[in-house]
């Protein structure tokens, strides 16, 4: 028995094509957005690492500043330069 050829209604081919296009577009769009999200997460983690390293460096430099600005160190430098320690000449400046 020979099969009869199916007749498409008016606009049925177009509707089938549009539905197929929407399904393909949805799959492609989801894959693309997941890849973009993954790339963004990698960049965020990279920036977090850089920020952490910079914060550690800043903390280290702050400790060094505090060490160099200590009273004992100031006295030692003044003595090496031939200066005398005079407490009345010291002015404390607050930020």
In the structure, what pLDDT confidence band is assigned to residue 1 with cuts at 50, 70 and 90?
low
> In the 3-class helix/strand/coil scheme, how is 30-66 assigned residue by residue?
HHHHHHHHHHHHHHHHHHHHHHHHHHHHHHHHHHHHH
Residue 91 lies in a domain: no
Q: For the chain, how many structural domains are there in total?
A: 1
Residue 28 lies in a domain: yes
pLDDT of residue 4: 77
Residue 32 lies in a domain: yes
Encoded tokens for 38: 């993954």
Tens-digit pLDDT profile for residues 51-92: 999 999 999 999 999 888 888 888 888 888 888 877 787 777
Tell me the pLDDT of the chain averaged across its residues.
89
Check if the beta carbon of residue 78 is closer than 8 Å to that of residue 85.
Answer: yes
- Residue 78 domain boundaries: 15-86
**Global pTM value:** 0.57
Three-state DSSP class for 9? coil
Q: Is the pLDDT of residue 29 over 70?
A: yes
């Amino acid at each position: 028995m020979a099969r009869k050829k199916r007749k498409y209604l008016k606009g049925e081919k177009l509707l089938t094509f549009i539905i197929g296009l929407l399904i393909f577009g949805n799959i492609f769009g989801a894959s693309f957005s997941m890849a973009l999200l993954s790339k963004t997460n990698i960049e965020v983690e990279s920036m977090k690492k850089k920020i952490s390293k910079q914060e550690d460096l800043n903390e280290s430099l702050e400790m060094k500043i505090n060490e160099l600005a200590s009273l004992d160190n100031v006295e030692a430098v003044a003595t090496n330069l031939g200066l005398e320690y005079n407490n009345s000449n010291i002015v404390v400046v607050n930020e």
